[in-house]
Amino acid sequence: MKEVLLELREDKSHIYFPEKCIGCATCVAACPKGELVIGSVGAVARGLIDKDFIEKLSDACVFCGMCAKACPTGALAVRKDGKEGAKEEENESYLNKAISPTIVDESCVHCGLCAEVCPQGCITIEDRELAQDGSLRIEGKAVIDQECCIHCGWCEAVCPVEAITVSKPFSGTFFRDENVCMACRTCIDVCPCNALFNKDWGPGEIVEKVTHRMDACIYCGACSVACPVGAISVEKTAILPEMKKKGLEKRILGKTPRPALTSILRTDRDACLGCGNCVIVCPVNALSDPYLAAGHLNELDDKPLLEVVNGAIVVVDQEVCGSCATCCMICPTEAIWLERREVV
């Protein structure tokens, strides 16, 4: 697994595991020095910018390990002399260690439903075959990769024989403002639990822009961090596993932190067709003008983020960009893209 060295100081090292990170910003809330920064979560999750969710600032870090202890997936570690804390301390003080592993008991019928619905693909059915004793059974073994399990509960919910037990990291609340939401799907693409989706609709039927599967949610807050218009608010109300919290509750309970601007929009005027598709789909633009796609594209009033000027796209104000990369996804000529922005 890839390791990123965030900082090395004398005998201490701060390690980040991007593959384990879900972009939830729990570590950002936990850091007492404000040294960790998160941003561009939507663009990173969509594979449209080459950077990690988390970055580290200056040298004010005291290597307290609060970020590693608060992380629900074990994406951060603080090592001394190349070693992490004692096993006993890890199990008692680290959230990802305190969460009970997802367990499959002997009543499992190896149907494979859990493997089909797992949003992280961490369940496999090994040695699956029809029973050789004449009975109508399926033999095999359900194996769960505990390193990538995020404890969403999908497998437990669909198991027909209640053979699976899942423990969640947090309880919390989820709110999405229907009037602010621009249905850009950034939250859906980011959610590690497949807890958000677009409902199908019939002729004349009005449905929510985004629907929340409450029972699948772990209230990590990644959707809130990724939303380019701040339509989603996630609040952690409790840490569920038994552990030595040592100030964690005070730091991480409450609303998810807002992201930093860690990317910048770049454009290629020569490649741009001036079609205006990016202007229309930009959630920040759409929030400012609900009629943008219905004839307001060519009005002279400036848009807040993207505008077509003299037949080519221009960025009006970088500071209001939500780094969702929706504009990049729709551009037919790759004339607009995101690049990493230095955070100081």
For the chain, what are the domain ranges?
4-98, 103-165, 263-340
Whether the predicted model's global pTM rises above the 0.85 cut: yes
Q: What is the dihedral of CA 189, 123, 53, 334, to 10 degrees?
A: -40
Class level of CATH domain 263-340: alpha beta
Asked if residue 138 lies in contact with residue 109, where contact means CB atoms within 8 angstroms, the answer is: yes
Per-residue CA distances from 192 to 42, 104, 121, 223 (Å): 12, 21, 11, 9
Helix and strand totals (H; E) in the chain: 13, 18
Ramachandran region of residue 300, left (φ > 0), alpha (ψ -120 to 50) or beta? Answer: alpha
Q: What is the DSSP letter of 123?
A: E
> What is the C-alpha to C-alpha distance for residues 136 and 28, in angstroms, rounded to an integer?
52
Decide whether 4-98 matches 103-165 in CATH topology.
Answer: yes
103-165 CATH choice from 3.30.70.20, 3.90.550.10, 3.30.590.20, 3.40.50.20? 3.30.70.20
Give me the half-sphere count of Cα atoms (radius 13 Å) on the Cβ side of residue 77. 22
**Residue 77: its H or E element:** strand 76-80
For residue 151 the two structure tokens come to 């404890």
Asked if residue 185 lies in contact with residue 234, where contact means CB atoms within 8 angstroms, the answer is: no
Q: What is the pLDDT of residue 297?
A: 75
Ramachandran region of residue 47, left (φ > 0), alpha (ψ -120 to 50) or beta? Answer: left
Contacts of 317 (CB under 8 A, 6+ apart): 304, 305
Length of the chain in terms of residues written? 344
Helices (H), the chain: 26-30, 41-45, 66-70, 87-93, 95-98, 113-117, 154-158, 186-190, 222-226, 248-252, 277-281, 283-288, 326-330
CB atoms within 10 A of CB 112: 15
Class level of CATH domain 4-98: alpha beta
Mean pLDDT by 10 residues, the chain (344 residues): 90 94 97 94 96 89 93 94 64 89 94 96 94 90 94 97 97 97 96 96 91 97 97 97 88 94 95 94 93 75 89 94 96 96 79
Radius of gyration of the chain (CA): 23
> What is the C-alpha to C-alpha distance for residues 323 and 216, in angstroms, rounded to an integer?
26
Q: What is the pLDDT of residue 82?
A: 67
> By three-state DSSP, how is residue 136 classified?
coil
One-letter identity of residue 34 = G
